[in-house]
Amino acid sequence: MDRLILLILASILAGFALVKVPLSGTFLAGLEPITDIIGIVAILIFSLFLIYKGLKGLLGKY
C-alpha cells in the first residue's frame, strides 16, 4: 500500500483526535477553539486530498 495514503489516513485520525480532545478543566482550556479549528481544517484538507487521489486512481490517471 502506498505510504502516502497511510500518512494521509493518520493525519485524518490526528484531526479527529484534536477535535475530540477534552481540554476543559486544564490550563489549555483557552486553546480549545483553536484546536477544534485546526482539527477540522486537517480533516477537510486531508479528506479532500484522499478523495482526489482515489478519483485519480479510478480514472486511470495514476
Write the CA distances from 19 to 4, 10, 31, 35, 50, integer angstroms: 23, 14, 12, 7, 20
Q: What is the pTM of this model?
A: 0.84
Q: Where are the beta strands (DSSP E) in the chain?
A: none
Give pLDDT tens digits for 8-51: 999 999 999 999 999 888 998 999 999 999 999 999 999 999 99
| Domain count for the chain | 1
What pLDDT band is residue 62 in, cutting at 50, 70 and 90?
low
Closest CA to 32 of 40, 44, 23, 41: 23
Residue-range definition of the domain harbouring residue 28 = 3-58
What pLDDT band is residue 1 in, cutting at 50, 70 and 90?
low
Q: Cβ(15)–Cβ(42) under 8 Å? A: yes
